[in-house]
Amino acid sequence: MSATTVIWIVLAWFAVFLALGQNVATVLFGAGIIGIALYIGIGPLGGIIGPDTFYTASIYSLSIVPLYLLMAQMLLRGGIINDLFQVGHRMSGYRRFPLGIATIVTGSLLGAVSGSGAASSASLASVASPELEKVGYTRRFSLSIAAVAGSLSAIVPPSLIMIIYGSLTSVPIGHLFIGAIGPALLCITIYVVCLKVFGEIRKEADADGTVPDEPEAADSRRKSRNAFLFVVTLMVVVFGGIYGGIITVAEAGAIGAFTAMTGMLLMRRVGHQDILRALSESVKITAALMMLVIGAKIFARFLTFSRLPNELIAVMDPLMSNPGLVAVILLAVFFLAGMFLESAAVIVLLVPIILPVLEAAGIDLLWFGVSASTMIALGLLTPPVGLASFAAASAAGHPASQVFRGATIFALAAGIIVTGLLLAFPSVVTWLPGQMR
C-alpha cells in the first residue's frame, strides 16, 4: 500500500472518530496503531508501543503536572475563587469599569491556580457575572468578560499546555513559564482597553455604574483578605524561586502543592474529605493528560514512518527563507485548532507534526511555544466551539452565541495586536528567560 494511501486512511480514521465524539487521546492512539500496522505490519507493534508508552510515561517533566494540579485543587476546594473576586470587588470601589478590570485580573490569578480555561470561565460566570450586571453591564457582556478572564489560564503560568509543550519539545518548562509573563500582561492590557471601548451598558444603568457598598462582616473581610494575600505570596514564592534559579520547576510544584495544602488546613478552609477529593481529581486529570501524551507519542511514531513531516517541509520549502511567514502560518493553525479542540489536545496533536518544520525554519522553540499558547487562549473565545465562552454561557444558562459575540471582539483585538508585537519584538517572550540564572 502506498504511503499516500495510508496517510489518507489514517486522516479519514481520525476525522470520522473525532466527529463521532471519541476522546482525542483514543483517536490519536488508534490512528497511530492503524498507520504503523499498515506500513510495517502488526508484528513489530508490540516492540514499538510498549517501549514508547513506558518512555513517555517516565518523562520527568510530566511529573510536574500532578503537583501543580494538586496545588490548584487545594486552592479551589478552599473557596479561593470567591475570595479573590470579593477582594477585587472591594478594591474597585463597587464601580463599573474598575470592577470589570478586577474581574479580568482575578481571572489571571485564577488561571495561575486552576490551569483550565473552561473551569475558570465557568467559575467566574457564576461568581463575577451577577456582580457585573449589578453595576450596569449587560448580561451577555458580563459573561463575555468572565470567558475572557478565564481564557487567560492558557497563558498565565503554571499553564498545563506549556508543561506538555515543554515535555514534547525539550524546552525548559521554567523558561516557558517566565516567558509567558510578557504576553499575559499584554493580553490583560488589551482586554482592559476593550472593556473600556466596547463595554455594553444597559440603558437604565447609572452613569458611573456605582452600587452601594453592601455591609459585610469584618470576619468575612479578614478571611477573604488573608486568602488573597496567601495566593499572591504563594505565586511570588513559586515563580520567584523559578526565576531566581533557587528552585527547579518540579521543586516549585512540590512546594506549591505542600504550601497550598498546609495553608488551607491552617486556615480551616478544607477537611480531610476535601483533601481526598483534591487528590482524586488531580489523579484523574493527570491520567487524562498522560493518555493524551501517550496517544500523541504513538501518533508521532506513525508520522516518522510516513515521513509526513518531511513532506510538509518540502511543501513549505519556498517559505523557509522567511521564518516570520512560516511562524504566522503555523500560529494561525494553532488559533484555528483552538477554536474547535481543548487546549491540551491542540498541543499534543499539532506539535509532533510541526516540530520538524520549526527546526528547519530556525524558529525559536521557546518563543513559538509561548506564542502558540497565546493563540490557543484566543481560540478558546471564538466560535464555533470556543470552550471558554461556551463554559461561561453554560454555567449561566445563557445562549452561547451571544457570549461569543462579545468575546470574539476581545479575541480579535488581542490576536492582531499581540501577534504583531510578538513577531516584531520576540524579546517580549525571550528577554525574561534570558535573565534567569
- For 409, the 3-state DSSP assignment is helix
Q: What is the pLDDT of residue 417?
A: 93
C-alpha distances in Å from residue 260, one per residue of 105, 191, 245: 21, 29, 21
- For 48, the 3-state DSSP assignment is helix
C-alpha distances in Å from residue 178, one per residue of 156, 162, 256, 320, 433: 9, 11, 16, 29, 6
Q: What is the pLDDT of residue 343?
A: 79
Q: What is the pLDDT of residue 421?
A: 93
Please give the grid coordinates belonging to residue 193.
482597553
Alpha-carbon gap, residue 180 to 174, rounded angstroms: 10
Alpha-carbon gap, residue 149 to 143, rounded angstroms: 10
Q: What is the mean pLDDT of the chain?
A: 83
pTM: 0.84
C-alpha distances in Å from residue 99, one per residue of 216, 312, 398: 17, 48, 21
Q: What is the pLDDT of residue 114?
A: 57
Q: What is the pLDDT of residue 321?
A: 83
pLDDT beneath 70: ranges in the chain: 1, 92, 110-118, 205-220, 437
Alpha-carbon gap, residue 304 to 310, rounded angstroms: 9
Residue 31 φ then ψ, to 5°? -65, -40
Q: Where are the domains of the chain?
A: 3-434
Q: What is the pLDDT of residue 205?
A: 64
Please give the grid coordinates belonging to residue 420.
504583531
